[in-house]
Amino acid sequence: MKNKEWLGADLIFDLDSDHLPGGEDLSYQDQLKLVKKKTQLLLEDFLMDDFGFEEKHMKLVFSGNRGYHIHVRKKEVFSLPRGARREIVDYITGTGISLSSIFPFDMIKVSEFKEHSKTELSYRFPPQQKGGWSRRAINLIKYALRRWSTMPEEKVIEEISDIPGIGPKTAIGLYDELYKEGKWKRILEKKRLDDLSESGKVNQKHFLKIFEEVIRDHSINELSLEFVGTTDEPVTGDTKRLIRLPTSIHGGSFLVVKPINFQDFDSFDPLKDTFIEVGGDSTYEIRLDKLPDEDYIVLNGNTFEFERNMKVPEYVVPFFAAKYQAKVL
């Protein structure tokens, strides 16, 4: 083994419905629908738009149970070390994002006395045509400002106060300036922050700091990118990660770990398109010692209502046995 050399590794993304915020309150079917939307967001907004990967460089696979794997297979990424791979995850989740480095700024003259003048720094929104986090940040700022304008004052202040480094006094001051003085509308209209001072109790840097955290939280919640394996090692950052083999059978569901063509992803239904064709028209009686929280499940277009004793066609028996520990009577 010591004479073998590491040749490279796919850049792998693992999205799992187990990691979706609030996913534990959803049925298995709804978890699968939600994680599919997150996978499409990661594919289209980040991997294709921001990183410029083409479909031919990526492989999309249903994990066989709770989510999807995306393999990026391009020679430029094969040799990326762990640190570089983790930086990609940091980018996607907005970790360490600095709006002050994204937003352009001007020096504006605010006062003048004789030959002396005072200038202040004024951040402005990046051009609308810019992509990546510039576009994403502007959209999230607009969304948050409008959302806060419809919420009770105490809820907004509480939400802002929870941000690390922002105390209640700053939160109250920012709320007063944005909503009691109406500056939030002027910021959106003018697309710049000069209505807030450069320094003082509430300033432009406070505003940017707050939204850096808002953007990070939104990104993580929106994408639900946990990337954590059994050893708490980030999946995407690990160059020696074992990932489930495409076309194998998942032991927790007896569904196929199925590669998916990108053009078929919209219509792909994991509870219809991943069953193994086994058996014939026979039916079996099965028993569920513990009933799921959901009332029914749709498998291959057929609806099965959960009961303690059920009669089901042969092809779904392995699924019920693996997924819900059903016993064949």
Integer Cα distance of 212 and 163 in angstroms: 10
Taking Cα atoms as reference points, which of 46, 91, 100 lies closest to residue 210? Answer: 100
Taking Cα atoms as reference points, which of 37, 211, 46, 35 lies closest to residue 132? Answer: 46
Integer Cα distance of 160 and 285 in angstroms: 55
Cβ neighbours of residue 19 closer than 8 Å, sequence gap 6 or more: 224, 225, 226, 228
Active-site residue identified among 10, 14, 194, 238 = 14
Query: Among this protein's residues, is 14 annotated catalytic?
Result: yes
Taking Cα atoms as reference points, which of 163, 191, 195 lies closest to residue 176? Answer: 195
Find the largest Cα–Cα distance for the chain. Answer: 97
Integer Cα distance of 2 and 233 in angstroms: 24
What is the enclosing helix (H) or strand (E) of 112? strand 105-113
**Token digits of residue 171:** 């939160």
Active-site residue identified among 18, 162, 217, 232 = 232
Active-site residue identified among 16, 194, 195, 238 = 16
User: b or e along 176-204 (b: 16 or more beta carbons within 10 Å of the residue's beta carbon)?
Assistant: ebbbeeebbebbeeeebbbbbbbeeebbb
Query: Among this protein's residues, is 18 annotated catalytic?
Result: no
Query: Among this protein's residues, is 16 annotated catalytic?
Result: yes
Report, as residue numbers or ranges, the catalytic residues.
14, 16, 232
